[in-house]
Each structure stands twice: as C-alpha cells, then as structure tokens.
Chain A
C-alpha cells in the first residue's frame, strides 16, 4: 500500500481537474465546436459534441479524472443535459480555487464560503424562473401576432397573481420556518428581493409548505413534530402542487409516476398549432433546427393521441430512435411505430407478409440455445450418455433448432422481437419459414408493443402459449419522404406498426456518417430538456441571464464583504481585526466563485460568435454589470434586458420572421444541479490531501518514475 501526499499550495488534483476540463471549453453553449476523436488502433473516427462522449475518449486513470467522470455520468444519467456546463465550471472553479490557495486562504474557509455562496446564488436566481404555462402562453401568442409580442411579454409577472395569494396564505408558516433554519445566515439579504417574490418564489415555497401539512396529517411524524418545520424545508419541492400541473387528487400519483410521463393539463385553449409544447421545445433547444422539428412533430403526435384522454402529455418512454447514416438530413422524420434496420434476407420475408395482420412474440432475453435467465448456474459434472446412437439425430443442436421452430410454426407466429441476440442458424431457418426475427430491441419498445398488442414477454420459447401472443401487427418497408423504399449499405429500414401504438420512432438521418452519433445525442438532449422543463413546471430565462445574475450577485456579496472588512464592530466577532480578516477571506473566495460565472459567460459569448474574442466578451459583460449595478436591482435589469432581447437572446434563426433572435429558456433543476455537482466535485478534490493506493503493486510503484512521491506503510 502506498501513500502520496498532495501539495496543498499547488493542489495536483485541482490541476488535473482543470486540465481535463479545458478540453471541453468549445462544447459550451448552443453553438458547439465539434471534436474529432480518432482511434489510433482502428483508425475509426467519430465526431462528438457532448461532454459525456469527450469523457469516454479521455485518459481518466487519475483519481481526480475518475471522480470527474463519475460526476458527469451521474448528471448525464439523471438529466441528459448540463454536462458541458458542469465540465466547464469544474475547470473554472478549480482554477479560481487554486488562486485562492496561492493567496493562503484556508481550505475550510474556501469550502464553507464557496458552498454558501452557491446556495445564495441559487436562491437569488429563483426570481428568473418562469412557469412553463406562462412561457407557452407568451411564446404562442407572439408567434401568432409577432408585432404584439412586446406588450404580451410584460404580462409574465402578472400571470402569477394567484401564486402571490397562495404565498400570502402560507407566509406565516414560512416565516416560522425561517426562524428556525436561517437559509442564508452568511449573507445579508438584498433589498430588491421583495420585487421578485411576486414572480415565482411563491410557487416553490407553496410546494414545500404543502408537504409539511401533509406530513403532519399522516400522523407518523408526531414524534418529531417539534422539529417538523425543518423537515419541511428539506422535503423535495413538489411542483405538482401548482394549479397548472396537477388536478388535485392526482398530484400524488403523478409525482410518483413522475419519471417517464409528465402531464400538462388545464390548458385546453391553444392559441397556436404547437399544442402548448412546440414553442417551448424550440426555446429549450436554443435554435437547433432539425432536432427541434422532430421534437415538435413528436409533441403533435403525442398530443393527438392523448386528446381523447383529455390531457396533453409528453412521454419519453414512448420515443425510440433509428439512425440511418447515408441519407440526407431532409429525410429525418417521426414515424408512429417502430423503425429498425434488417438484413435484405429478412426484408424478403416482409414482402411476403404484404399487408397481412401478424402475430407477434416478445422475448426479454437472448434467443440462443445456450442462453439461460440471469441467476441460473449451469450444472457442472453432468454427463449425458447416449445408449443407442442413431444417425438421424444430428446432436442436440438441431433438435433445439427444430423444437424452437416447431413452437413458432405451430402457434403461427410471424414476428419475434428479441431484447438480446439471436442464434444465426435459427434466424436463417425462421427466414426460410417466413418468420421475421428482430434482435437488440430495447425494453421500452417491447413494453409499447406488449401494451398495445396484449403480448406477454417471455424468456424462453418453451414458455409460449396462445395467451402470450399479440396480434394486429403490420410490417412494411420504411419509405422516406419521397415514398421510396431504400437500402442503406447492407441493411434495409423497416417499419413495424400496430393500430393505436403509442411508440414513435424518430428517424435520424445524415449524409455524413460520422455525425450520426452526434445527431442522436443532440436529439435525446432536447427530448430530455423538454421532459425536465415539464417535470419542473418552470424554466429559467436563458441565454446567460441566470449566470449573469449569479455573477452580479456573487460580486455584490464580495463587495459587501470588503466593505465589512473596512468597517468596525461586526456582530459575529468582537474584534474588528478579526472581522476584517474573515471578511477579506470571504471576499477573495466569493470573487473566485464569480470568476467561474464570468468565464462561463464570456466563453459562451465567444463560442456563439456574439463577440470576436473572450476579452471583448468580458468587456461587454463588465459593461452590463456596471449598468445592472447602476440600475439598483440587478434582477430587474436582467428581466428588462431579457424582454428587450438584446443581451440574453439565442442566435437568430434563419427562415423565421423574427429577426431579433428567439427567446431561449433553460432547465431549472438540471442547471442548478450541474452547478452544485461541479462545485461539490471541486471542493471534494480540494479537501483531499492524500492518495492511498491500495493493492499489491508495491514493486511496480517503487520502479515507477514518481516513486519518490510515495511513502509506504
């Protein structure tokens, strides 16, 4: 076992983080510069533009690299968006903290001030949240009457008058809770907070208080009622309590169901054909056209389907993708049913089917002789003896094949969807018998077919009986927008559909094969952005508005600390000398926090070509910061600028009437979680003072170049 100390002034872990994050700078913002990743061993190359893919191709053997990868994977698993933000902030804050260490700021001070500073910023930017309903109303109306957008826009704050009432009702409870657990003890509240409270604050506070009421109701918390108030603050802010997103009794169910389906009810009168979500999808995708069009048609399809059930919903589980490299991008479309690629031999089977209604079987494992369900251990030490060898039986292999085939034929199965792999020989025999077998089908596709056809998934074909079969499936060759079937390389796209199936396949096409992975990643990112926006029930003003407010807020906190450092007699400490000292530290650390935001903004502006250089961007930001400060209330300034649309707009989209650029919005939870995860990672690495390498590699370490760094126990 070896032990390597980390030099505290030039923290090696932070340096590793910052250099890894540097690679992701160009991935930030809506206009990403893609990267070519070339695999030297196979000479294959891939175009990437997401932090997750970047991580996959970086050398991450260092402990800090491992932690960074883990953090990015966790964000990706949870949100599918915000990873490049996370990566960038990790780098920016690592550098800023290294500077702090250079100035001899103690680690504990950095940790506490940084995390409280971020908490304070997160509270501050709550005033830039807008409910999805308001955004929709505004976006749709402005698309109907573009000229009237200015006057409509001013209605955003008014839309929440009801929220304000709710807020007043519960204000008593909230203030009671704030006494016990001061949320923001470190920093003095800003005067203009009241201005913002009417906007979205109430929504969030309502949610948390409502959960308090309920938790008292169920009686189980009576034991700890003395501290129930602090518990309520900690509860998840359930936004299902907003009147827009949950019809009373359903709230509990939907919040539990929450992950795959989001309901958006209570909006029957749409002002435009986007069904309440299309424009939102556009605003969230920051102007990426092809994916956005697909997303809009998905929304339209899902809306049409859900109209009979009375609520508009957006369900991620009902979306699949099929990548067709080699076709021009204009072929991208959304098809109801399942589109996938099959071999030409299988395609001949389809021709045989013509327009027949087919019987379907779903299998949730592999379709091979050797496959056994998970947890089954093959018996060892079993010898099979053959008493009368006969030449007819060509071993067990053929008998398994013919058994399986007999089952399929006797039940008149036409189509088998398999989650795993399929035995080659069986596949051939099936084709010969006009049975189409498709392998590597994802779970959500299987479920969608199971739901609509009544088929029950089985693990082995021997389990099959008539009740497991589904019916009413039709298979055809997939036809592009020019109504022609086509063949790509050696594969043929086919479409499997059932009347009433909820599944939609987004067919993604590109003429440049190496862009395929990139397009698919992007598509899913936008799908998830819309999903999270609906689940949060609110969105942030985008285009850097939120980060700008964070920057101005953290700078303001830093300035306040400096002022305090000059002043005498602070409550916290009796000695003026001590107060001055601690405030100076705080100012340095808060400035480091602000550096992260400032770098973020300038790199985004530079990447989107709004400015010619990062330096120019920084000047522009400083200019706006000054104006915001002069205005007195930075949040009001940001709101005004956003509505005017100069500073915080996405890039203008060609072919739209709107020349000033679209309004863009960002996810709330995904963004704030990305910040918090980035800071947590940096602070974790900062607090590490040693690596302990475990395992029997002593001699290897002794011989390595850096052996002098290690100590052995």
Chain B
C-alpha cells in the first residue's frame, strides 16, 4: 500500500547574501589554509573510524563538503565544474571568488554597478593575459622539456599531502612527462587523437619504484597461466584479441519485473553455461589468442579456454576498456550472442609480468599511444592524493599542448595582474567610469576591491605568518620566510620571487601586500621579468588559470545578483 504525502510548500529566502557572511568566512578559511606548497592539510572522515582522506586539493575537499547555504552551493558547484573541466587551479578559483564576494559586499555600492565594472576589469585582465605584451606569460616550447617539467613539478610540490621529497618530485615529474609523451601519436596526420595513460596502483611501495611502460598492463589475481607463458599466434604472427564488456560469469539476464517459470529439470545456469561454451568453441575456431573480459568469466569457460591454449583475463575493469580498444583495435563485445570476426583486434605480443607482489598481463601493440604508469606511494592515503595530483598533471600537459602557454606561478601572476590593473585604471578611470555610468570614486573603489581579491589569493600562500611583499618594478610576489623579524632592508631577506624568475636587487622597492586599500599605483606598466625561464621555476597552467579567473569573477557577479532563493523542500 502506498501512501501519499502532501507536498511541502517551497521555502522563500530573500536577500540570501545577508546571511552568508559567517559560513563564507569559514569556507574562505578552509580554502586559503590549503593553498600552495606549504598549505595545511584537511582530514576528511566520517567521525566514526572510517577511511580518512588527507588532502589539500580542491577536488577532494569540495567533492566531500556538503554545504547547506544556497549561495555557497552555487559557489562550490561552479568551482567543481571548473575542476572537472581543467583539473587545476580549483583553489585559486574558489579563493578568488570568495574574496570577490566578500570585498564587493563590503563596498555598499549597487550590485549592478559592481557587476558592470568587474566585467570590465575582467575583460582588461583577459585581454592582457592573451596579449603578446603580457608580462606574466611564458610560452611553452615542446622541444625543450624544462618548461614541461617545471609545470609538472609545480603541481606536485603544491600538494604536500603526497609526502614527496625533492628527489621523488623530480623522478615523478620525469615519469609523468614521459607518460604524456607516449600518449602523443607519432603520426598525428592519420589519427589526431591523444592516447591514454592508465594508472596502475601499487600501494605500499616507495615512490621511486614507480615506472612508465608503453602498452597496457592488466592486473590478474595470481599467475594462473601455464608455465612457461606462451600465447597462440595467427599465421601472420600477430595475437588475435577479443574484448568482452559483458559479464561472462554465466548469470542470467535480470528480467527486472515479473518472474520466469522454469521446469525443475531444466537448469537455467547450465543452459547459460552451454551458451558460453559455444562462444568458447567459436573463439578456438577463430584462432583467438587472448580473451579479455571487463567482468567475470565463468570458471568452466576459463578452464575450456586454458585447455585450448587461449589466455583468458577477466575482471579487467571499466577503466581499461577504452585504452584496451585503442591498443588492440578491437570493438568491445556487449553480448555473447553477437560475436563477429570484425570485432577482433590484434596485438604484437602478450607477456606475463610481475611488479612487486602483483601480477600483470602486458599487452604490447604494434604502434601505441597507450601507456601504463605504475604509481607507488607508501600508504593508501598518500597514494590517493598522489594519484589525484598525477591526473591533474597529465590533464595540464594536455591543455598545454592545445595552448602552449604557461603563467608564472607562486602568486606572481596574481600580483602582476593586480598592479597592471591598478596602473591601467589609474589613467583610464575618468573616461571608463563615464562609459559604465558611475562615479570615478566608485570605479576606483571597485577596482581596488578587485585587485585586493587577486592579491589575497597570493597572500594565501603564506601560512606560518610570513610576510608577503610585492615589488614596484615587476609586480611580482615575494615571500619572506616565516618567523623572521621585519627588516628595513628587504633585499637582505629575499632571494627569489614566488615564481623564481626574478632575483632580488636593491632597486626593486618592495612593499607589503596586505594593507593595500587606497595604495598608490605604480607609475608605469609593470615590466616584463628580468630573468629568463630557468630550470626551477614555478609555472601554472595557462588554460586552467585563465578559465578559473573568468569563472571566479562571473560566479561572484552571479551571486551578487541574487535577490532571492526559492527552495523546493520536497
């Protein structure tokens, strides 16, 4: 008997921004404390002794957070959307967006004016970032690996929960770039698609035991193959492969509704197994050498295949299915009744290999854009964090291949943009404020709030109370090591700026980044950096940061524009 319940009326909340201050400041505190290589970690757990996720990455934190305030829901949703598309710069986007909301809220200016002007400021930023004259942009040369390694190293070092030392970071950066190189096709004219890098988990081992192997590794529970390992080949010396994505465990189709009535002498299981064995017979006739099944193969079928010298690998898992068809050129078969020879693929060789205590079948194709990254870290928690970091790095390399640019990291892009905006609006303010119909003071205030938000992202890099400075020449960001007393002569304390491109000289004219409201803009446009791209620079992904900036400003504008929230309570 079903029971109908009366619908609850919807909840109307007006002016949602008035109640957001307290949870917003808590969210900012969480996000800011995670930012950067010295960021603090968060223990995410259920409080009753379940799995503990130790992380400082936005993807993990925002994925687990359940916020109740509607404004924060909008905010986290848009940041998560950014992360799902770009993997990197999630914390940057979130912190910038939160600071923009906070700073704009404090201005007491009509939100439509703020929105107009911040859109204008955003376009100034994006135009500048895309322009050739941009002082915080570095072009990535794919013939020189150093920039790529810098990009990857910056991502790895900004994730302290991976617990990597310098040697391990260098080693992994090389592996990740190597893995990426394997996925780039040799002849892009014929097939301009990037391949896949499959991460093979090896938890409990040292990070330095990680390796990259071309081809695909599929884990098998134990060595179940005949010794010595040999594979049946076709006349053309290739190995014929068939891939099933349907379960071959011999269980019945699920009829969802209704019942099947069977005579007691008929065994559905047996008839299902007979069908499977028929498939096996056809595979033997077709000279197939390797059968891979995403799910489980019935032990009887396995035994039959083994007796006929066919290697059967089951429980391959969903994650290898796409690379599997890339490697073998076979089409995954979704029903055991639709077996056609056109679905077969081929491989150059198949081998059995073991790494540490795990056993694998190694599929070696003729020409491949698929590789396997055997990723090791000492325990489960740190491994999970490392895997997230490696996936981010791989994605960033792919984005960089599309748009071979990088931005200076270590807070330098943010402070540089802020000083560019300050300088630019200083000379434009009277004319621009007329364009957007507001007073020059309002325009100035909003610009200040905008720049301050950018700078507060850079400020989040310091966690132990170390001071953050910016210089008047390049507009870069400089971190004073924490615990040191304020010195009159900054050049004694500083050696390199955040991204590592500028070295300190006496004439840089530093000032504190923190209390910048109303500070005077620099006279000229911030200069391009003096140094050249060096080996150990901090670089950020251009595409991710560029998009993150847009997402942050647009989300902040959207949230400022909210006048009421109607919540469906059913």
Interface residues of A (CB under 8 A from B): 1-3, 13, 60-61, 63, 65-67, 70-71, 74, 77-78, 104-109, 111, 115-116, 119, 181, 183, 220-221, 223-224, 226-227, 230-231, 233-236, 256-260, 373-387, 443, 447, 456, 458-460, 462-463, 467, 572-575, 577-578, 581-582, 585, 673, 676-677, 680, 683-684, 687-695, 697, 701, 711-713
B6 contacts chain A at the CB level, 8 A cutoff: no
A108 near B177 with CB under 8 A, answer no
Point out the residues of chain B lying under 8 angstroms from A380, CB to CB: 254
Point out the residues of chain A lying under 8 angstroms from B163, CB to CB: 680, 683-684
**Residue on B with the closest CB to A76?**
B204
Which residue from B44, B295, B307, B381 sits with its C-beta under 8 Å from A692? Answer: B44
A375 near B249 with CB under 8 A, answer yes
Least Cβ distance of A362 to chain B in Å? Answer: 13
Cα–Cα distance between A65 and B466 once the two chains are bound (Å) = 31
Point out the residues of chain B lying under 8 angstroms from A70, CB to CB: 52, 379-381
- 10 closest residue pairs by CB, A with B: A234-B171, A375-B296, A575-B492, A459-B299, A106-B464, A689-B40, A61-B49, A74-B379, A379-B252, A693-B47
Contact flags (1/0) for B66-82 with A, using CB distance below 8 Å? 11110010000000000
Which residue, B52, B172, B263, has most C-beta atoms of chain A within 10 A? B52
B145 contacts chain A at the CB level, 8 A cutoff: yes
B51 contacts chain A at the CB level, 8 A cutoff: yes
Point out the residues of chain A lying under 8 angstroms from B30, CB to CB: 3, 690, 692
Least Cβ distance of A636 to chain B in Å? Answer: 28
Which residue, A61, A680, A692, has most C-beta atoms of chain B within 10 A? A692
Cα–Cα distance between A221 and B179 once the two chains are bound (Å) = 11
Least Cβ distance of A677 to chain B in Å? Answer: 6
B249 near A373 with CB under 8 A, answer yes
Cα–Cα distance between A680 and B42 once the two chains are bound (Å) = 15
Least Cβ distance of A148 to chain B in Å? Answer: 40
Point out the residues of chain B lying under 8 angstroms from A687, CB to CB: 40-41, 160-161
Point out the residues of chain A lying under 8 angstroms from B251, CB to CB: 376-379
Point out the residues of chain A lying under 8 angstroms from B357, CB to CB: 259-260
B208 contacts chain A at the CB level, 8 A cutoff: yes
A383 near B259 with CB under 8 A, answer yes
Cα–Cα distance between A684 and B307 once the two chains are bound (Å) = 51
A-B contact pairs, 25 of them (CB 8 A): A61-B49, A70-B380, A78-B204, A108-B463, A108-B464, A119-B165, A226-B146, A234-B170, A236-B209, A256-B354, A259-B356, A379-B252, A382-B252, A383-B261, A384-B261, A458-B303, A573-B493, A581-B484, A684-B381, A687-B41, A692-B43, A692-B65, A694-B45, A713-B65, A713-B69
Evaluate whether A376 and B484 lie within 8 angstroms (CB atoms) in the complex, with A385-B263, A460-B299, A680-B382 already known.
no
B300 contacts chain A at the CB level, 8 A cutoff: yes
Point out the residues of chain B lying under 8 angstroms from A109, CB to CB: 464, 481-483
Least Cβ distance of A459 to chain B in Å? Answer: 4
Least Cβ distance of A78 to chain B in Å? Answer: 5
Least Cβ distance of A573 to chain B in Å? Answer: 7
Least Cβ distance of A332 to chain B in Å? Answer: 28
A373 near B72 with CB under 8 A, answer no
Contact flags (1/0) for B181-214 with A, using CB distance below 8 Å? 1000000000000000000000111101100001
Point out the residues of chain A lying under 8 angstroms from B259, CB to CB: 381-383
Which residue from B65, B178, B208, B378 sits with its C-beta under 8 Å from A223? Answer: B178
B248-264 residues with Cβ-Cβ distance < 8 A to A are: 249-252, 254-255, 257-264
Point out the residues of chain A lying under 8 angstroms from B493, CB to CB: 573, 575, 578
Point out the residues of chain B lying under 8 angstroms from A574, CB to CB: 491-492
Which residue from B44, B203, B296 sits with its C-beta under 8 Å from A694? Answer: B44
Evaluate whether A690 and B43 lie within 8 angstroms (CB atoms) in the complex, with A61-B49, A66-B49 already known.
yes
Cα–Cα distance between A577 and B486 once the two chains are bound (Å) = 11
Cα–Cα distance between A573 and B480 once the two chains are bound (Å) = 12
B23 contacts chain A at the CB level, 8 A cutoff: yes
Cα–Cα distance between A687 and B487 once the two chains are bound (Å) = 28
**Residue on B with the closest CB to A63?**
B43
Least Cβ distance of A486 to chain B in Å? Answer: 35
Contacts beyond the supplied A109-B481, A375-B315: 10 A-B pairs with Cβ under 8 Å: A60-B49, A224-B181, A227-B174, A379-B254, A385-B264, A460-B299, A573-B492, A688-B40, A713-B23, A713-B72
Point out the residues of chain B lying under 8 angstroms from A115, CB to CB: 165
B167 near A234 with CB under 8 A, answer yes
A227 near B167 with CB under 8 A, answer no
Point out the residues of chain A lying under 8 angstroms from B247, CB to CB: 375
Point out the residues of chain B lying under 8 angstroms from A119, CB to CB: 165
Cα–Cα distance between A701 and B45 once the two chains are bound (Å) = 14
Evaluate whether A693 and B45 lie within 8 angstroms (CB atoms) in the complex, with A3-B30, A230-B171, A379-B268 already known.
yes
B47 near A701 with CB under 8 A, answer yes
Which residue, A220, A234, A447, A462, has most C-beta atoms of chain B within 10 A? A234
Point out the residues of chain B lying under 8 angstroms from A581, CB to CB: 483-485
B108 contacts chain A at the CB level, 8 A cutoff: no
Point out the residues of chain A lying under 8 angstroms from B299, CB to CB: 373, 458-460, 463
A692 near B181 with CB under 8 A, answer no
B222 contacts chain A at the CB level, 8 A cutoff: yes
B168 contacts chain A at the CB level, 8 A cutoff: yes
Point out the residues of chain B lying under 8 angstroms from A256, CB to CB: 353-355
B378 near A376 with CB under 8 A, answer no
Cα–Cα distance between A572 and B42 once the two chains are bound (Å) = 33
Least Cβ distance of B229 to chain A in Å? Answer: 12
Cα–Cα distance between A116 and B166 once the two chains are bound (Å) = 9
B238 contacts chain A at the CB level, 8 A cutoff: no
Evaluate whether A384 and B160 lie within 8 angstroms (CB atoms) in the complex, with A376-B250, A462-B300 already known.
no
Point out the residues of chain B lying under 8 angstroms from A572, CB to CB: 495
Least Cβ distance of B145 to chain A in Å? Answer: 6
Point out the residues of chain A lying under 8 angstroms from B388, CB to CB: none
B149 contacts chain A at the CB level, 8 A cutoff: yes
Point out the residues of chain B lying under 8 angstroms from A459, CB to CB: 299-300
**Residue on B with the closest CB to A575?**
B492
Evaluate whether A236 and B47 lie within 8 angstroms (CB atoms) in the complex, with A684-B41, A687-B40 already known.
no
B487 near A575 with CB under 8 A, answer yes
B64 near A692 with CB under 8 A, answer yes
B361 contacts chain A at the CB level, 8 A cutoff: no
Point out the residues of chain B lying under 8 angstroms from A683, CB to CB: 163
A181 near B170 with CB under 8 A, answer yes
Point out the residues of chain B lying under 8 angstroms from A77, CB to CB: 204
**Residue on A with the closest CB to B262?**
A384
B27 contacts chain A at the CB level, 8 A cutoff: yes
Point out the residues of chain A lying under 8 angstroms from B395, CB to CB: none
Evaluate whether A230 and B170 lie within 8 angstroms (CB atoms) in the complex, with A66-B51, A383-B259 already known.
yes
Point out the residues of chain A lying under 8 angstroms from B464, CB to CB: 106-109
Point out the residues of chain B lying under 8 angstroms from A379, CB to CB: 251-252, 254, 260, 268
Cα–Cα distance between A372 and B538 once the two chains are bound (Å) = 55
Which residue from B64, B295, B483 sits with its C-beta under 8 Å from A585? Answer: B483
Point out the residues of chain B lying under 8 angstroms from A223, CB to CB: 145, 178, 181
B481 near A582 with CB under 8 A, answer yes
B61 contacts chain A at the CB level, 8 A cutoff: yes
Least Cβ distance of A377 to chain B in Å? Answer: 5
Least Cβ distance of A417 to chain B in Å? Answer: 16
Least Cβ distance of B461 to chain A in Å? Answer: 11
**Residue on B with the closest CB to A228?**
B174
Point out the residues of chain B lying under 8 angstroms from A383, CB to CB: 259-262
A235 near B208 with CB under 8 A, answer yes
A233 near B167 with CB under 8 A, answer yes
B45 near A74 with CB under 8 A, answer no
Least Cβ distance of A599 to chain B in Å? Answer: 23
A234 near B46 with CB under 8 A, answer no
Point out the residues of chain A lying under 8 angstroms from B249, CB to CB: 373, 375-377
B48 contacts chain A at the CB level, 8 A cutoff: yes
Evaluate whether A684 and B54 lie within 8 angstroms (CB atoms) in the complex, with A378-B251, A384-B264, A713-B27 already known.
yes
Cα–Cα distance between A383 and B487 once the two chains are bound (Å) = 85
Evaluate whether A74 and B203 lie within 8 angstroms (CB atoms) in the complex, with A230-B174, A380-B254, A383-B262 already known.
yes
Which residue from B41, B255, B298, B483 sits with its C-beta under 8 Å from A381? Answer: B255
B133 contacts chain A at the CB level, 8 A cutoff: no
